[in-house]
Amino acid sequence: MSSTDARPALTLDALRLTFHPGTPDERVALDGLNLRMNEGDFAVVIGSNGAGKSTMLNAISGALQPDSGRVLFGAQDVTDLPVHRRAGFIGRVFQDPMLGTAPALSIEENLALAQRRGLRRGFRLALGRGNRQRFADLLAPFGLGLETRMGVLAGKLSGGQRQVLALLMAAMQKPRLLLLDEHTAALDPGTAELVMQATRRIVDEGGLTTLMITHNMQHALDTGNRLLALNAGQVRLDLDAQAKAGLTIEALVQRFGASDDQLLRA
């Protein structure tokens, strides 16, 4: 993966972020973190609790402002843009299935809301005829049966169904970066597997540049073309597809924080 010709899709440049500075609770979450994501990279991020994984994603999305350092999409510096102004670049799915969809809106309204991500919202009806059919076609391949229940409130869906819907919403209006923040962690193993399949499918079909945090070592090995391990607010390990292919869970755990029981939960 040469990053010399094209500009990276995402550049994190010496990101620094300290929580509660100057208090006894002071904690350095990002300690000069650097990262380059090339177009089409699907990087899986692992690391123990407190390593800075979620903080990194929040700094990318704009939910948190770094104390110093820069966030760039291509050549554009977005470090100072609020969440809604960089939303056009980013699709995001959260760990909590409640967060990724709007429970009081129907499935099709959720999709219509996501369809305008990063675009102007005007006085056109959100659910024109064409949209309804398009949304149903979008959902149909996932075999959840939701395409016939488009008017159902998202709040009535199961956790797995919601995460698939949230994934679709995040991938609509093709984002330059897809952020997945342990999006299968709150699901039972079977459902988590289904959502992972949906994830691979959506990322592959869209050719999406993706950062996925997971605590599931099997998913970390099976998925993506790159493996990042974070520790103490820095990227400590950055393996490409080749290096990753030779890894086993045991080797990974041994090489990276075998003492952390979170990592053993494969």
Pair 213, 33: CB distance under 8 Å: no
Neighbours of 240 (CB within 10 A): 13
Q: Are strands 68-73 and 42-46 parallel, antiparallel or unpaired?
A: unpaired
Stretch that binds another protein, among 6-14, 44-52, 106-114, 137-145 (CB under 8 A): 106-114
Neighbours of 130 (CB within 10 A): 8
Q: Is 213 an interacting residue with respect to another protein (CB under 8 A)?
A: no
Q: Is 159 an interacting residue with respect to another protein (CB under 8 A)?
A: no
Give the integer Cα–Cα distance in Å for 261 and 246: 23
- Residue 72 or 98: the one with the smaller Cβ distance to another protein is 98
Q: Is 183 an interacting residue with respect to another protein (CB under 8 A)?
A: no
Residue 243 neighbours by CB under 8 Å, 6+ apart: 227
CB of 133 to another protein, least distance (A): 17
Give the integer Cα–Cα distance in Å for 73 and 71: 7
Stretch that binds another protein, among 13-21, 113-121, 202-210, 237-245 (CB under 8 A): 113-121
Question: Which listed residue (118, 185, 206, 232) binds another protein by CB under 8 A?
Answer: 118
Question: Which listed residue (1, 6, 14, 119) binds another protein by CB under 8 A?
Answer: 119
Question: Which listed residue (1, 6, 83, 245) binds another protein by CB under 8 A?
Answer: 83
- Residue 58 or 225: the one with the smaller Cβ distance to another protein is 58
Give the integer Cα–Cα distance in Å for 131 and 12: 36
Q: Could you tell me which of 198, 202, 192 has the C-alpha nearest to residue 143?
A: 198
Q: Is 122 an interacting residue with respect to another protein (CB under 8 A)?
A: yes
CB of 134 to another protein, least distance (A): 15
CB of 122 to another protein, least distance (A): 6
CB of 124 to another protein, least distance (A): 6
CB of 119 to another protein, least distance (A): 7
Q: Say which DSSP state 8 is in.
A: P
Give the integer Cα–Cα distance in Å for 136 and 152: 12
Give the integer Cα–Cα distance in Å for 169 and 223: 21
- Residue 87 or 196: the one with the smaller Cβ distance to another protein is 87
Residue 57 neighbours by CB under 8 Å, 6+ apart: 92, 179, 181, 211, 213
Give the integer Cα–Cα distance in Å for 90 and 123: 24
CB of 50 to another protein, least distance (A): 22
- Residue 93 or 239: the one with the smaller Cβ distance to another protein is 93
User: Which residues in this chain contact another protein in the complex, by CB under 8 A?
Assistant: 61, 82-85, 87-88, 90, 92, 99-105, 109, 112-114, 116-119, 121-127, 169
